[in-house]
Structures are given as C-alpha cells and as structure tokens.
Structure 1
Amino acid sequence: MLGRNLTIVVEFILLGFSDLPKLQDVLFGIFLIMYMSILLGNGLIILITKIDPSLQTPIYFFLGNFSFLEIRYTSVTLPRMMMDLWTKKRNISFLDCALQLCFLLMLGGTECLLLAVMVYDHCVAICKPLYYSLIMNYKVCIQLVIGSWISAMTIMIGQTYQIFSLPFCGSNKLNHLFCDIPPLLKLACGNKLTNELSIYIDTVVFAIVPFLFILGSYIKIITTILEMPSVTGRYKAFSSCSSHLIVVVLFFFSAIITYSIPKSNSLSSMDKVLSLFYTIVTPMLNPMTYSLRNKDVIAALKNLLPKWLVL
C-alpha cells in the first residue's frame, strides 16, 4: 500500500474491444486472416529478394529487411490481441506489458528510419543515376540498416524504462488494444512532465524528422522526374516511387497523430483505430503495394509460384 485506498498495480487489463461483446469471434477471424496475410505476403517478399538474381539490388535489399521488420512488428501485438479475443482474458503482467511496449517502440522507430533510408535510395537512383552504384554499395546498405536498428533500440529501451519507472496506482484498466505509451501515461501517477517531453522529442526524432526528410526527398525526386525528356522514363520513375509513398503516408500519418496530439484531447476509440493502421494495416498492405505495382516483383513471384497462384 502506498497510502490510503491506493494499491500498487502489478498487472494491467487490456480493455481492447470489450465494449463489443457480440463481435469478439468475428474480430478474431478478421485479425487471424490479416495476420496470415501479413506473414504470407511479407514472407514471400523476403524469399524472392533472397533467391531471385534479378532482385539482388539495394532497393530490394531494403525491401526484404522492411518486410522482415513488418512481420516482427505485427507479431508484437496481433497474436496477443487474438488471444485476448479468443480466451476473453485480457490481463497482462507488468513485465509482459513492459516488454511489449519496448519491442513495439524499437521496431516502430526502426521502421520510421528504414522508410527514410528507402526514399534516400530512390532519390540517389533517380537524381544521381551515374553515381548510384558507387554511393549505394553493399557496405553502405548494411551500415544504413544496422544504423536504423541500433539507433531505435538504444533510445526506445530508455524510453520504456522511463515510462515504467513511474508509479502505477489505482486503476489498472488500459483502454487500448495493447500496451502503448498514451494509455499507460493515463494510469501513471506522479509528475509526468518529463516523460511527456521525452515522448514529444522521440516523436520528432523518429517520426517528424524522417517524414520531413522523406517529403523533401520526394520534392527533389518529382522535380527531377518532370525534367526527364522521355515519357516512358517519367512513368517508370513515378511508378517505382508510388508504392513506397503509399506505405509512408499510411504509417506516418497514423503514428504522428497518435504520439503528438495531447491525450487529454483525444478520443480513446480514435486512438484504437489509428493504432490498427500503423501496427496491422500498413504491414498487410506493404506486400500488395510493392508486388502489384512492381513488374520485377511480379516476375519473381511467377518464377517462384505456380501460375494459378499469381493470376
């Protein structure tokens, strides 16, 4: 006991979709289909970028790493959500909640940086094609990927430690689908100003700065494309960038709104919807946007799978 009628929280209850009791089984089925689609789609992207000789280029190296990241990112939250829907038991221990948040932040931060790395690759390929092989050599690609992972890991572990260093007392009901910063801060006691400031700084570093870098890179890319004399060349360049742009808009739009808007002014139901976009919808759309709009990926899939699977 910390004081009169004040109990230390040792576990949390994820309310999730408990307000929709009649739809629990339906939601479980929907999430199961989405999860299998994510595993299958991103798994195929990883496979073809590893074994197809025509895809042994920097952009497909980054795409394979991005698909691997998407699988890991979704697996942090979605299996747990499905288990809660199936068993109707929504409790999660203090340690499990901390681990879930830590991996969610690390993988989410890495995804932001990796999306920026991918647009940098596009920018070099379109704006400096003669120097592309020199700039984007294998060593540089490895360094960019490792740097994205390490940068996010070190900072987000510290962020998680800060959050769970706060005392949690009173209610243990998290009105969310998984352990995330906004609902956890609502339950925390004590002075949270330092934590909130740290969250905004991390949002700027891992979301807003990469997004602005991506925006600036696309302005440069579009300017270069419009100057191309060939209509075919312009179409091919726009087509190669459009898939990445779709993923960027979906992911950054939902993530930035979730972590930058003051939580006292936001709706919990809206938070849940937005969280589904950056944890489930984007990873599910990633293989479709890159495969359906990319002739090289389609050709690689046709070589790998029976024709009736890709028609």
Structure 2
Amino acid sequence: MDLDQLRTFDRIVREQSFTRAAAYLNITQATASMRIRALENLLGVSLFRRGRTLSLTDQGMTFLPFARRIIGTAQEGREALRRVERGRIAIASLRSLVSPLITEPLLRFQEQYPGVDVVVSEGRQAQIAAMLHERDVEMGILCWPNIDPLVVDLVPLVIMRERVPLVVAPEIAAQLPTQPGIEDVLALVPRVISLRWWQAEPETAAALVRLARTSVELPTGPARRLAIKGQGLGFFVNSAVADDVKAGRLVEIAPVDFEPLHRDTAMVVRSAAALERPMLSAFVAEIARECESVGVIVDNRLETLKGAA
C-alpha cells in the first residue's frame, strides 16, 4: 500500500469516475486502474462496484475514512518538515500568562526571526506538563515548584513571583471599614470565586472558600466579570486584574486577618541543551525580559545555563 494508491482511491470516490480521476491526477486511466487493482489485492477486498455507474462496496465505504486519515497524516507530516526547514518553535504556557508574558516578546522575537513559525499552546498545569513530557513543546511556563509526577526532571530557566491580590468591586470596597476583617467583606459579597491558580491551594485561599456562604469555580474571564459586577470576590494573579484595578473596575483589599498571597511560576525546559537552538534561546530571553514587568524575578539561571549548553 502506498500513498499514490490511496490518493487515487480517494480521487476516484470524489470524481465518481476513473477517467476524471486520472485526468485530475495527470495519469492515464490504465495507471489509475492498476493502482486500484493493486490496492484491492493487498486488502483482499473489492473497493468498487463497477458497472454503468461506479459506487463503493461496503468494504470500500469502510476503508475510505482510514485512507483519508493516512493521506491527511502524510500531508501534515510533510508540512511539519517544511516548517522545520525554515524554523519552528513550540512553547506552552499557563492560560493566565499567555497575554501578559508572551504577546510583546513574540512581536520582538519576530522582528529578529521573521521567517520562523511559532506555536504557542495554553492550558492548565497538568496539560503543560503532559506537553513537555510528550515533547510536543520545547519550553513551558508553569507553576513552580512543579509537583506533577509526570515530569520530575524539568530545568527552571527563570522563576517569577507574582502577587495574588484579593479584589472586589468598587461599590463593595466603599462600604468597608478602613481596616476590614474578612467577615466584614463576606457580609457584603454573596460568593467567593475560586480560580485554582495553584497546584496545591494555599491555606489562606482554602480558608476563604470555607468561610463563604457560597463559592464558584470559574475560568479567569467569567470570574473577572462576576467580580466587577459585585457578585463575588477572589484571589486573582495580579497580571489578570492589573488593568481593571488601574481603571477602577476592581479594588484591591487587604483584610487584616488574611495574609497576602503570591504565586511562583517558571520557564522550564526538559534539558539545558534546548538552549543550544539560537531561536529558542532568543525567544526565552525576550520572555525573561517581560517577566521583570509582570512580577519579581526570584531566580534567573538563563545566562548560566546558556553558557553550560
């Protein structure tokens, strides 16, 4: 079985004619017939009912989606090889950090490498760990330290610490005393929003959920809208709500009986040898620059690891 046989089979089905299929493929009708006979002999079945009209047998109908899947996979593989020839980078990031950490670095990177394909995937911690484990991506941005048992050998390049403030709508903040306790806040807000920013939820965040009348777990976008409408409060990573706080749509509060929270994230690779690729090294360096404006760099091993690589 070869791709020419499968493409001929697919085209005959589409054209409903050996003659038209052969013309489309720029081969003779005899060649098209020969390919189909060879394919049928290999499979041990007849694929077509031949007569005044041409139609698929039950076996042909069953085999068709598999043939098309093979053709599609081959085309995807060929395109992937073309991309590798001109350069390709694949990274993955926590959803909450794609916009604040990757957008601007990507623009700067593509000024240096305009012909390089860049694939950015997003997801939760476990999804990014799986992509790194399967080597679908070369670099990941995830919570640190990593406690996912799927990948235990990750190499951190840059570790960033970001504040996780507790925010409410301005009309709720206006009703709070100067030094509110958490009970003062919960008396005004109907529910606590849980976003599961962490691999293991800090006790402070877990305690807030336990104290609330009700709680809801939401993705960032709907959670922000709920908080802005005064229908909930929650711990948001600073980069997710910084614009809302600046515009006055949300207000950061600090209950006297609740400790401030932070989240550590890291850019990681499976091996420092990944930095031997100049393109990846340049993109990582651009993201590292952006980390300085989003949070506080608590560990930067990038230059040391680049030298070692």
Pairwise TM-score range, normalised by the shorter structure: under 0.3
TM-score, normalised via structure 2 length: 0.20
TM-score, normalised via structure 1 length: 0.20
Comparing both structures, which one devotes a greater share of its residues to helix?
1
User: Which has the bigger relative contact order, CA under 8 A and spacing at least 6?
Assistant: 1
Comparing both structures, which one devotes a greater share of its residues to strand?
2
Structure with greater Cα Rg: 2
